[in-house]
Each structure stands twice: as C-alpha cells, then as structure tokens.
C-alpha cells in the first residue's frame, strides 16, 4: 500500500470523523444532559460502594477508591460509546443508510470514522467530568502515572471502536430481521453486568472464565482495570486482547455488511 494511496484514501475518513465531532457540537445541551446523568451515576455508585465497604478494606482485591475509580472509567466506555446503535439502527430500518451506498468509500469505515469523531468527543468530556467527580468522592486515583493513564486513553479509544463494530453488526441484523432491538438490549445489559458495574474479579469464577472468552471484558473492564490495578505487563496484555477483539469485530462487521447488503429493502419513496 503506497503512501500516495493512503494520502488519497485517508482524508475522507478523517473528514468524516471531523464532521461527526462538529455535528455533535451543534447542540451543546447534549453534553450537559449526559454529564448530569453520569455525575448522578457516580454519586449513587459511590454511596453503594461506601455501604458495601463499611467495615471492609478490600473486596476481591479492590478497595473503596479503586472501585469508585473503576466505575468512573468503565462508564466512560459504556456511556460515551454506548449509543451508536440507536442512530445506526434507525438509519438501517428507515432505509436512510442505503442512500450512503452511492459513494466511493468503505461503508463500514465511513460510519466508523463518523461515529468515532462523535464518540471520542463524548468520551473525552465524560472522562474530564469523571476525573473531577472521582477526586471529589474518592480522592486521588490509585497509583497514578503517565504510562497508566496513557494506556487508559489508548484502551478507551480501542474500546470505542470495538463498541462501534459490535453495535454496527447488531444494527445490521435489521437486514434480516424486522426488529433487532432485543439483540442490542442483551448486549448492553451484559456489558453493564460484566465489567461495568462490577469488575470481573467480583464475578463467580465460572462466570469470569466464560466472560474471558467473550469480547465483553475488552469493552469496559480493560480500560477500568488498567486505571486502577493493572501492572504494566497485565495492562499490555489487556490492550493486546482488545486489539485482537477489535480486529475480529471489524472483520465480522465487514462480513455481516457484505452478506446483508443484498438484503437491503427500501420500498417506495
């Protein structure tokens, strides 16, 4: 792949991300709403953890501050990148998405760029608000360091893309089934239970072992675990697993698109 080729192909995805981001900025009220909800979640969970930790210094290797900071980072992925499905699914079902097929680009790639422009902005705003809230309710994060938080950001970016590809694949099931919201609902709830509300270490051993064979830990657990507890080798291992799942989900998404493209049905107008 020559540099020239990339120089010609990449700007379209860069601009799609740029426009996705700027489109998100059109209504600044969006951020206020999600920040307030996120702040409320952090407050409620900090109270729940405070009650759970009454008289205990550690649960499954996590102390109170670790649990609160874990939740703060995990929610950045769950909340910041958790809403791609609804707009993608609406576009699939209404047929709007079909009109984007008359363009010379990778259909999945274009949507990914656009979603990431918007999602990374959401996540950045949430992370900034979350860090502030974390200091207020739980003090400084455990063992902060540049490499740790650098890896947290990298892990969040990968988690965002992973979330996109999984949600896009679920949204594209609309090519075959009339109503696919249930699939997303199941995915969303599993994400919350496995790795968002509770770190994997809190789960029963069998459930944890099963979860490790799914992409779910890479969605929320990986960045949150890196933020509060992971050693450097463990953190790199988690990022590596994320990259593996990212490649797998991107490929799966492309295959679902290829198989489903001929199923697009938009009748009339």
Partner 1 sequence: MTIIEAESLTKTFRTRIKPEGLRAGLRSVVRPQYRDVEAVKRVSFSVEEGEVLAFLGPNGAGKSTTIKMLTGILTPSGGSSRVLGLDPCRDRTRLARSIGAVFGQKSQLWFHLPPADSFRLLGAIYEIEPALLARRRAELVERFGIGPYMDVPVRKLSLGERIRCEIAASLLHAPSVLFLDEPTIGLDVVAKREIRVLLSEIAQRDKATIFLTSHDVGDIEKVCKRAIIIHHGEVVVDESMKELKHRALAKKFIGVKYAEPVRFELPGLKPVKVKLAASDTVAIAGADGDCAASGTEGSARDGAWSAASFEVDTRRHRLPEVIRALVEKGEVLDLTVEDEPLENIIASVYEARSGEDASRAARPGAASAADEAATGAARPGESAKEGT
Residues within the interface to partner 1 (CB under 8 A): 8-9, 11-12, 14-16, 19, 22-23, 26-27, 96, 98-99, 101-105, 110, 178, 261-262, 264-269
Pairwise CA distance, residues 101 & 13, whole Å: 15
Sign, Cα dihedral of 50, 54, 57, 58: negative
Cβ closest to partner 1, residue 106 vs residue 188: 106
Other C-beta atoms lying within 10 Å of the C-beta of residue 148: 19
Please provide the size of the chain in residues.
Answer: 269
The least CB distance from residue 4 to partner 1, in Å, is 11
The least CB distance from residue 102 to partner 1, in Å, is 5
The least CB distance from residue 58 to partner 1, in Å, is 48
Cβ closest to partner 1, residue 8 vs residue 189: 8
Of 178, 180, 175, which is closest to residue 264 (Cα–Cα)?
A: 175
Cβ closest to partner 1, residue 9 vs residue 208: 9
Of 250, 78, 251, 257, which is closest to residue 162 (Cα–Cα)?
A: 250
The least CB distance from residue 121 to partner 1, in Å, is 14
Rg, the chain, Cα only: 19
* Contact (CB, 8 A) for 264 and 99: no
Helix H, strand E, coil C: the string for 156-170 is: HHHHHHHHHHHHHHH
Cβ closest to partner 1, residue 206 vs residue 267: 267
The least CB distance from residue 113 to partner 1, in Å, is 10
Strand partners, 62: 59
The least CB distance from residue 174 to partner 1, in Å, is 14
Pairwise CA distance, residues 38 & 29, whole Å: 14
Cβ closest to partner 1, residue 57 vs residue 262: 262
């Amino acid at each position: 792949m020559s540099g020239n080729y990339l120089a010609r192909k990449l700007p379209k995805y860069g601009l799609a991300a740029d426009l996705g981001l700027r489109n998100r900025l059109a209504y600044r009220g969006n951020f206020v709403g999600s920040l307030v909800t996120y702040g409320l979640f952090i407050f409620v969970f900090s109270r729940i953890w405070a009650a759970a930790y009454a008289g205990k210094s550690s649960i499954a290797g996590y102390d109170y501050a670790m649990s609160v900071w874990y939740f703060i980072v995990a929610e950045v992925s769950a909340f910041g990148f958790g809403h791609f499905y609804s707009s993608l699914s609406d576009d699939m079902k209404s047929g709007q998405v079909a009109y984007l097929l008359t363009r010379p680009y990778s259909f999945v790639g274009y949507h990914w760029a656009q979603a990431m422009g918007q999602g990374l902005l959401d996540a950045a705003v949430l992370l900034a608000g979350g860090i502030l809230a974390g200091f207020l309710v739980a003090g400084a994060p455990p063992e902060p360091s540049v490499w740790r938080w650098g890896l947290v950001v990298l892990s969040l970016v990968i988690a965002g893309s992973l979330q996109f590809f999984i949600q896009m694949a679920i949204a594209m099931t609309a090519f075959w089934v009339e109503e696919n919201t249930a699939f997303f609902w199941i995915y969303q709830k599993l994400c919350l239970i496995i790795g968002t509300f509770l770190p994997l270490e809190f789960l029963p051993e069998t459930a944890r072992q099963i979860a490790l064979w799914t992409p779910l830990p890479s969605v929320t657990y990986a960045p949150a675990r890196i933020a509060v507890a992971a050693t450097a080798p463990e953190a790199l291992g988690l990022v590596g697993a994320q990259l593996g799942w990212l490649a797998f989900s991107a490929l799966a998404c492309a295959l679902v698109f290829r198989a489903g493209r001929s199923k697009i049905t938009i009748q009339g107008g």
